[in-house]
Structure 1
């Protein structure tokens, strides 16, 4: 496999993750740093991929702890494991938090049943007295898009002969083979 075909395979997998609920990239792992400087990892849903700009979108509640952490440190890593291809993909990204009027068109496309994920009372991660002591609401002011501008892609193929490559935005996505 060439560097160019490996790079293409990763982007095709990311695009597929937006449209195919069973695709490995549909539910990547997002890693951020908390306001206290600690690592924080969670599974998210990949909502949009724009390959020409190398941007990925993830929806979230503006009141979530990840948003607070990203305001303090606007960088994240995304991890995708494709078991059938034996492929691990890690992406480093700068993150912009979009909300309000910036995301009104996106909010209009969020299915009605999904809108209650944005605006729970109390807010995400807040203590509650029992497991169901919260109210789900639909609040467009609580809706945010995390726009990840991909800076680096690290790919590790765990086949009979391991292969690893890195692609950086800073050099026009020219690939470089790395020792696995």
Structure 2
């Protein structure tokens, strides 16, 4: 019997992620996964066991590659003030849509509304990513303003909601005006947070 050919697992996961990103977990058939990943059924089962296992692996990969990068940017004082980092992130997303034609949106956003996110390990992974982003916005706010914890936490969650909204709208072909309005709402949230900061 011929041995299944060797393949790059990371490259295969990226291709699987692309399919899940595009059509969702439920709609991605095993046949489509094999075609997208460019591997044989034998290689697939040897490395990933089943569709659920490759889906969980793609969530981990997105967490490591994208969420970690976003968190690292938001929590790095070398990138400027907390406000600068937050607004800079929103500007990067808007620019990617406007200048680069990025219509991918956010894999996390897509996965959160997928049926695969309803309970179990997938939901745990997704919720962990959401909390990582929320905490990154919270830390950026704390770096600047020494807000009361409740004010900073509420502001961080409002900004997170706006971020998810911007990513979803980006997938839909975000207009320049809509992006500008979204960023102005984030600026308003930042100003609102400033009014609630602790003064000594």
**TM-score calculated relative to the size of structure 2:** 0.26
Larger Cα Rg: Structure 1 or Structure 2?
2
TM-score, normalised to structure 1, is: 0.28
Larger RCO of the pair (alpha carbons < 8 Å, separation 6+): 2
Greater strand percent: which structure?
A: 1
